[in-house]
Structure 1
Amino acid sequence: MIQFLYNFRRLALGLVLLASISSCSDFLERPPEDNYSDNDFYYTNDQVNSRIAPLYYKPWWNMFSTSFWPMTETISGNMFNYTHLSFTQFTVTSSNPMLENTWGSLYSVVAQSNELINNLDDRVGGDVDQETIDIVKGEAYFLRAVAYFYLVRFWEEVPIIENTYDYIYSPQVPKNPEQDIYRFIESDLTMAIDLLPEKIRGADYASNKRVSVGSAKAVLAKVYLSQEKFAEAKNLSAEVINSGEFQLLDNYADLFLTENNNNEESIFAIQWTISTDYGSGNQSNIANSAGGYGLGNIGDWNVFGPSQDILDIYPGGDQREVENIMIPGYTYDNLYTSSGEQFTVPEDIDAASSGSAIKKYVVGGDDPYDNWGMTANNTYIMRYADLLMLYAEATMGGTGTTSDATALMYFNRIRERAGLVELPSITNETLLEERRREFAFEGEYWFDIKRLLSTNDAVEYLSSQNRGDQNFDQFYTATAEDLIYPIPANESASNPLLLEEAVPYDFED
């Protein structure tokens, strides 16, 4: 379990060693360790590029291995499991290890991004192109911004750390206000936009792995929307849409195949890899599927199942249903067991006593996996469908409804791909419902509820959900305090300032 202050000291003292990577012939391939000097001096463009590669997956793993699901999908009412009942029952306390894992993971991203932002210029030789340096620093600004975007939506008030070295000998760091966190995120993404290259995402998926100007603008548009800066969100999302960089895949099911990692719809995704190093891959294939039915290599570990509340949200003909939820008796064209048999969902499937199981991100037993059952299937942080819906939401501008032709066109593209008819108008309720169907189990619904509903409506909605299993209906009363997580106890114990009032951040501008 990693405490972020410990991470800072450890990194600053040179004890954070980024894992070597065994992937081949792409930017994730790290040159041999003996090409590096003891102080991480970089002599070639390849060495600089390889330095950013682990930041696309390694420090994120502690959050995405398990913690992300209870903190977003279980608490929002999309998932059910017996291991993390405190998220189902709204009884999460500061001692919950999932909070500690996520906090530590995100601040590890921050710390490692800081190392590049602050020190890369001084650690390169004369043969390294300035363009290469700028792009890698742009990626670091982008990744730090994404980490803070999660932090502010989970906790609202957290410490802004720009330079790890400032806190080696004085690790007491105050929280900063929510508005300052958002200002800092906007600044980082603006820097990323200035430094990153422009792209058009084509069929050469290997070239799509790294983020671009369009990636940074898309995330910034979402950051604007989260602050109710509707005009800025609409204008920037329109700019990215009109750039032509991204496009929807024709088939929803194709989004979640490993062979389609970094497709044209992917704006930013965690780049998992098969490795002998534990904690490099995607655990969904074993945590969310019927492992005991041959879809994984370590037995039956289907901890998470769909909630009873989500089982009936799909109308007839919605092609997304079977790609998100395993329906008993359904046979998948693209899902095979480890013995090579086409997978038909057993009639008695029962992940987490749900009477069903989760399909999304489950790629089957014939997909390459490591010794722990983890696969190289990417985890989406943002995809183009999100941006199209973001435009529609920004167009509503807080009014709760729109019939704007452009907003409807973008919104209905999502429904058309799913096999549903067009809608003549959009409301907060229809948008929230459609986003739940589209992004089920991708970690969006918790943030959608808090953004699209008032505090009172969100509390009432969460309290009305059936949060039991298939055998027992269960309802629990949420409160406004449940919408923001408590600071992890281990963090506040080592840094008591986290329990005090937030202090305005000193922006040097």
Structure 2
Amino acid sequence: MGSCKGFLDLEPKSEATDENFWKTQNDANSAVAGMYALLRTALNGGYGIAHYAYGDLASDEISSSNTYPYSHVVNMNWSLSLAASNTGDAMYLLRRYDNFYKVIDQANRVIKYVGSMDNSVFDNARTKNFLLGEAYYIRAFTYFYLGRIWGGVPILTEAIAPIYAENQPAATPEQVMEQSLKDLQEAKKLLDWKNLVNADFAVRANKGAAFALEAHIGAWVGNYSTTIAAADSIIDSENYFYVSRDSIAYKTIFNGKSSEGIFEISQSANNEGTSVGIGDYTLATPKYHRLHASPKLTVTKIRVDELFNDRADKRRKFTMDTTVNTSFVICNKYSNLTYPEEGNNAVPVFKNNIIIFRFSDIKLLKAEALAATGRATEAKALLDEVRMMSGLGTWSGTGSLMKAIFDERARELFLEGHRYYDMVRLYKHHGIYEFLSTRMSQEQFQRGKYRWPFDPSLLNQNPLLIQTPFWATVGF
């Protein structure tokens, strides 16, 4: 079920393969599973941490990196010049979106071919509809993800034979989000709250995942009524619950498939895991990861003390090792690791799911939306709910309620791929700027520096593609 490597030449290599493949329910299910595998590859790109590179590294969580090229990613030096031959460089890979279009291509093929399969080959109509719903969801999610990173990207919604493939211009950022929402409406019609297989809870899409994505799209574009309605659907479903913030129970969130999990990328099952995931960048000796004396990504004790200023916070106590060093803190959310071999030089295998959406995220997203629409009392109630789960008292009421909600999201979702986008939203919609001026000034933000550049190789391959606005003025 592979896809081509060329830019936007991402259609199946062989029409004959498609003609011979789409015959049974197992074929359809395998094709759908392939979408998730391709998405996992995309989010693990750039030396294993693309999801966190986009969503965390340039935020106020990470102060520096001792590993190339992530020092440049942290400092938003995203126009780093590379030799044309250096196609394996992480910066090159992060500036390209090939892997995401492979996901979209696979979703397009599922929509085309499963949709035309005879109903009689499926156990029932629900099964066929659910598989189609997953494809619409994955395409919606991928366009949302691309839109946050680059803004405007090409929109492809059909599986086309390679002979007809052609380069495409980028749609506007607004059109990308509209496409995502359009696909999401189809997904919501076709999906149920319960997965086809119970074991697929959280790691394959269902109606909960669809509403979570809709809530996030609403917040991203500033349509907070959409966010409130979608969040209410999740909460009212009673399918998701808080995990205790006490020690061992709390860690189950990041191992994956906890009661909070709404949508995750599976990599903690018996046959899964990675040696280059986020744990490789955040853990160190003596307690974790024997190969590193200090983490590749630096979280400073100063920042953790500032953010988790109440020492009663269980999240600080159980996910932040603050005593191992005077200058850095080890975030141990991703410490579910094994050593298949013995010895001090044994390579660890990290077995944590990538947590995309979870229950407390949606609760706080709803709080943001309520505060933005003048419903402060209800917003504070949700904020206090999350705080009290973590061993804190109710919010004091001092200062900005909106900032208090975003600060709570910073504590609750630390190093889960949200903070950078939260900081973008906090300034765009609420006028509160928290980026370091050494990385991006407010004037640079206004010119679009917060969006990633396209790698020059993409522009060379596709003459219809135009560099993102700020980076077009910088040069490579």
Cα displacement (A) at 1:358: 2.3
Which residue number in structure 1 is paired with residue 65 of structure 2? 81
| 1-structure distance, mates of 2:61, 2:168 | 35
Which residue number in structure 1 is paired with residue 472 of structure 2? none
Tell me if 1:395 matches 2:399.
Answer: no
* Match 1:492 to one of 459, 463, 466: 459
Alpha-carbon RMSD = 3.6
Secondary structure in 2 aligned to 1:446? Answer: helix
* Match 1:463 to one of 407, 411, 436: 436
Provide, for residues 149-204 of structure 1, a one-character-per-residue CA deviation record: whole Å limited to 9, x for no partner: 111111111111112416644422100011111111111111110111123999x7
Provide, for residues 186-231 of structure 1, a one-character-per-residue CA deviation record: whole Å limited to 9, x for no partner: 11111110111123999x7664543211220121122112111122
Please tell me whether the aligned partners of residues 10 and 102 of structure 2 are also in contact (alpha carbons under 8 angstroms).
no
Tell me if 1:219 matches 2:219.
Answer: no
Please tell me whether the aligned partners of residues 150 and 468 of structure 2 are also in contact (alpha carbons under 8 angstroms).
no
Cα displacement (A) at 1:385: 0.5
| 2-structure distance, mates of 1:106, 1:255 | 31
| 2-structure distance, mates of 1:269, 1:413 | 23
| 1-structure distance, mates of 2:270, 2:8 | 26
Question: Match of 1:361, as an amino acid?
Answer: Y
Which residue number in structure 2 is paired with residue 452 of structure 1? 426
Which residue number in structure 2 is paired with residue 337 of structure 1? none
Tell me if 1:48 matches 2:28.
Answer: yes
Equivalent pairs, count: 441
| 1-structure distance, mates of 2:78, 2:150 | 13
Tell me if 1:91 matches 2:71.
Answer: no
Evaluate the alpha carbon distance shift between residue 455 and residue 242 of structure 1 in structure 2; reply closer, same or farther with a 3 A threshold: closer
Tell me if 1:423 matches 2:395.
Answer: yes
TM-score computed with the length of structure 1 as normaliser: 0.76
| 1-structure distance, mates of 2:302, 2:254 | 32
Please tell me whether the aligned partners of residues 71 and 98 of structure 1 are also in contact (alpha carbons under 8 angstroms).
no
| 1-structure distance, mates of 2:154, 2:209 | 25
| 1-structure distance, mates of 2:151, 2:210 | 21
| 1-structure distance, mates of 2:223, 2:457 | 35
Please tell me whether the aligned partners of residues 337 and 351 of structure 2 are also in contact (alpha carbons under 8 angstroms).
no
Tell me if 1:100 matches 2:75.
Answer: no
Which residue number in structure 2 is paired with residue 306 of structure 1? 299
Q: What are the residue-to-residue correspondences of 1:334-373 with 2, within 5 Å?
A: 347-348=324-325, 354-365=327-338, 373=348
* Match 2:383 to one of 411, 414, 429: 411
| 1-structure distance, mates of 2:373, 2:163 | 44
Which residue number in structure 2 is paired with residue 210 of structure 1? 204
| 1-structure distance, mates of 2:453, 2:112 | 31
| 1-structure distance, mates of 2:340, 2:199 | 18
| 2-structure distance, mates of 1:257, 1:367 | 21
Which residue number in structure 2 is paired with residue 9 of structure 1? 9
| 1-structure distance, mates of 2:9, 2:58 | 33
Evaluate the alpha carbon distance shift between residue 428 and residue 449 of structure 1 in structure 2; reply closer, same or farther with a 3 A threshold: same
Which residue number in structure 1 is paired with residue 315 of structure 2? 320
Which residue number in structure 1 is paired with residue 474 of structure 2? none
> Structure 1 residues 241-250 or 120-129, which shifts more?
120-129
Cα displacement (A) at 1:365: 3.8
> Structure 1 residues 104-113 or 154-163, which shifts more?
104-113
Cα displacement (A) at 1:235: 2.0
Provide, for residues 285-313 of structure 1, a one-character-per-residue CA deviation record: whole Å limited to 9, x for no partner: 323211x5473476668422314663221
Evaluate the alpha carbon distance shift between residue 437 and residue 270 of structure 1 in structure 2; reply closer, same or farther with a 3 A threshold: same
Please tell me whether the aligned partners of residues 227 and 369 of structure 2 are also in contact (alpha carbons under 8 angstroms).
yes
Tell me if 1:376 matches 2:369.
Answer: no
Structure 1 gap ranges (5+): 16-35, 329-346, 465-474, 503-509
Structure 2 gap ranges (5+): 83-89, 470-476
Secondary structure in 1 aligned to 2:263? Answer: strand
Cα displacement (A) at 1:434: 0.7
Please tell me whether the aligned partners of residues 201 and 264 of structure 1 are also in contact (alpha carbons under 8 angstroms).
no
Please tell me whether the aligned partners of residues 155 and 170 of structure 2 are also in contact (alpha carbons under 8 angstroms).
yes
| 2-structure distance, mates of 1:117, 1:132 | 14
Tell me if 1:385 matches 2:360.
Answer: yes
Evaluate the alpha carbon distance shift between residue 183 and residue 477 of structure 1 in structure 2; reply closer, same or farther with a 3 A threshold: closer
Cα displacement (A) at 1:117: 1.2
Please tell me whether the aligned partners of residues 285 and 295 of structure 1 are also in contact (alpha carbons under 8 angstroms).
no
| 1-structure distance, mates of 2:250, 2:314 | 13
Question: Match of 1:244, as an amino acid?
Answer: E
Evaluate the alpha carbon distance shift between residue 307 and residue 320 of structure 1 in structure 2; reply closer, same or farther with a 3 A threshold: same
Provide, for residues 435-475 of structure 1, a one-character-per-residue CA deviation record: whole Å limited to 9, x for no partner: 110111001011101112248956x53125xxxxxxxxxx5
| Residue identity (%) | 20
Provide, for residues 50-91 of structure 1, a one-character-per-residue CA deviation record: whole Å limited to 9, x for no partner: 332232244332433222333221211212313222233332
